[in-house]
Amino acid sequence: MDFTHLVDSQRRYFQTGSTRLLAFRQEQLAKLQSGIEACEEELFAALHADLHKSPAEAYTSEIGVVLSEITHAIKHLPKWMKPDGRRLPVFAKPGKGWTVREPRGVVLIIGPWNFPVQLLLAPLVGAIAAGNCACLKMPEHAPRTSAAIAKLIRGIFPPEYVCVVEGERDAAEALTRLKFDHIFFTGSAPVGMAVMKAAADNLTPVTLELGGKCPCVVCDDAKPEVAARRIVWGKFINAGQACVAPDFLLVDRRITERLLQEMIKAVRRFYGEDPKQSGDYARIIDKRHFDRLVSFLRDGTPALGGEYDAAKLYIAPTILTGVSPSAPIMQEEIFGPILPVIEYTGLNEALAFLKTFPSPLALYLFTNKKEIQEQVVAGTQSGSVCINDTVLQIAAKRLPFGGVGASGFGSYHGKSGFDCFSHERAILKRPEVFDPAGRYPPVDTPMKDLRRIYRFLIRE
């Protein structure tokens, strides 16, 4: 596959300078907003076909998120684009210094299948706001949604400005070998590594939004009924197929039984006695992923759930107890509706256990004690921390969203998305009227005096 012509046409369009204008950027964002609103029902149908998402879940976790990002960007873009004045040292005076945020150029955005609308179009909002041209690689495992998004984008933008590429893994591999000015990838760590290796050949900067085993620590002072509702909600959105879903529970054994009972109540309240019949419960994306998840059911004893139906790609919301830290389910990101529960005695034991895992995209903590909150934050590393709730941190547009270490690097959402797809260019300007001879060779100032003068000149 050769997509060189797409990149070349976008580079020619970018070089016209049209995408740099504030009015142009706002106009394109408004077009995207109108287009999404116009095809909302089609997106609902596609998300239901691919993942069995209800309209409510599709809107709150996908479409509404993107529309909110667009509204925020249009409103704040004039401020984001303003030059940022910087103080200069004495040696640069009289002079002025400032930075400007400039578009990177032609960017590639590779989206995943689990939240195909949000995780493809939210980065696009940042790319457009920053003044770039963009190429979107559609997620191949969500075919109906990919087709709907492709139709949406092609109906709004000319391909020399925003283009879409459909296809399998080989299409993504062909794209990453091309010379883009930035690559934004959301997906698994192994594929992220491959993207980064391909990008290195062209010195293309990358943003990697990966995942990991996001832990949820529940201390003995947490309110079981509140913690249970919020954990169940965050875990079983999209049948657990979310990079920020709580991957496992680490619970103070003094509260385990009460928490389990409240979580069972919450699951039944949300999805009924038979979640298979619930219109609010999603399905697993494909057979390969389904089989992998079913194998994890052997790694513990279900306190709830454990049922599955291969024909429907259905796995019930499942809470597993008696899970060994060495079990297969604890060795990789679950990415499904199975929640292992591991007990701990004492916070130091919990912190020591967390340090055995690579840095996750999110860490969740349920406690009302400030000293414990500070201890956990200081004693762990993660892309984000959410205290006494789950998942909500990704919906706060003024908070950057991204990983650290094995969970990726770079961030977006709100201004962070604008910054992600921008280059911060430094500018220094001086007049010609003041040009002391002492700065030029030959230098005959004694070193003792030179040190003193230099320290004075570099102070700010």
The residues annotated with a catalytic role in the active site are: 209, 243
For residue 118, give the 3-state DSSP assignment: helix
Please report, as a single letter, which amino acid is at residue 24.
F
Give Rg (Cα) of the chain: 25
**Distance between CA 120 and CA 111 in Å, rounded?**
5
Q: Please, are residues 210 and 358 in contact by the beta-carbon 8 Å criterion? A: no
- According to DSSP, residue 298 is labeled G
Report long-range pairs for 151-160 (Cβ below 8 Å, ≥24 apart).
Answer: 151/39, 151/42, 152/35, 152/36, 152/39, 152/43, 155/35, 156/31, 156/32, 156/35, 157/28, 157/31, 159/6, 159/9, 159/10, 160/9, 160/10, 160/12, 160/13, 160/133
Give the number of residues written for the chain.
460
**Distance between CA 258 and CA 262 in Å, rounded?**
6
- According to DSSP, residue 358 is labeled P
**Distance between CA 40 and CA 119 in Å, rounded?**
16
